[in-house]
Chains A and B, each alone.
Chain A
Amino acid sequence: AQKITQTQPGMFVQEKEAVTLDCTYDTSDQSYGLFWYKQPSSGEMIFLIYQGSYDEQNATEGRYSLNFQKARKSANLVISASQLGDSAMYFCAMRGPPYNQGGKLIFGQGTELSVKP
């Protein structure tokens, strides 16, 4: 069975500094996708970045990058130059086979990031 683990319930970072949010996963599948979502206090879920299991390069999307270490089964999110608006809950999620069942997302417990001015 697939599983996502986020071991940091809460993190603090100074504005303009970089921060890494940890995510480890467990799956026996060879093909899978890893996603990060941001959930501000208002509650919506915002898609940030995606990494495929066969991608050789780490994904980047603006200030977000994904440190993908396949052998360690980790997919850490790096946010560079933190801004006050980055304060939110961040969820790591996995999507994989069986595709005939629609490809549900499995979520981790989340990490609450607080950016200090």
Chain B
Amino acid sequence: EPEVTQTPSHQVTQMGQEVILRCVPISNHLYFYWYRQILGQKVEFLVSFYNNEISEKSEIFDDQFSVERPDGSNFTLKIRSTKLEDSAMYFCASSAGRRSNQPQHFGDGTRLSIL
């Protein structure tokens, strides 16, 4: 069964450094998402992406964050200057469509630790 893959599984970074989280969505999916889960809390939406542009972003997704689909397969989340509060599990998800009956399939996540 096709799956969403994320790399790395764990990233440790010094505060103030840039970090890039990578995702390979399911190949025939058109809609891509990033979510964040701070330890022990619920999953929060960051951004959705379709047709090479952001469809929607949350208030968490400020100027320090950016997303890109540099080629036909990868989808990346960049945090320009990391803060301690960026420590969280980051999930990439993809969906064949945006209608309410189409599930989003998640990757295994990248655990980001900011020191």
Contact = CB atoms under 8 A, between A and B. Distances in A.
Interface of A: 31-33, 35, 37, 42-47, 50, 52-53, 91, 93, 95-97, 99-110
Contact of B56 (A44, A47, A104): A104
Interface residues of B, number: 32
Interface of B: 31, 33, 35, 41-45, 48-50, 55-56, 58, 89, 91, 93, 95, 97-109, 111
Given A43-B89, A45-B91, A103 B106 contact: no
A103 B43 contact: no
Contacts, number: 84
B107 to A, nearest CB: 8
Contact of A35 (B42, B45, B56, B103): B103
Contact of B43 (A42, A46, A100, A107): A107
A100 B97 CA distance: 11
Contacts of B111: 43
Given A46-B106, A99-B98, 15 more contacts: A33-B101, A35-B103, A35-B104, A45-B109, A47-B104, A47-B105, A95-B104, A97-B100, A102-B33, A102-B48, A102-B50, A102-B98, A103-B97, A103-B102, A107-B43
Nearest to A91: B43
A102 B56 contact: yes
Contacts of A91: 42-43
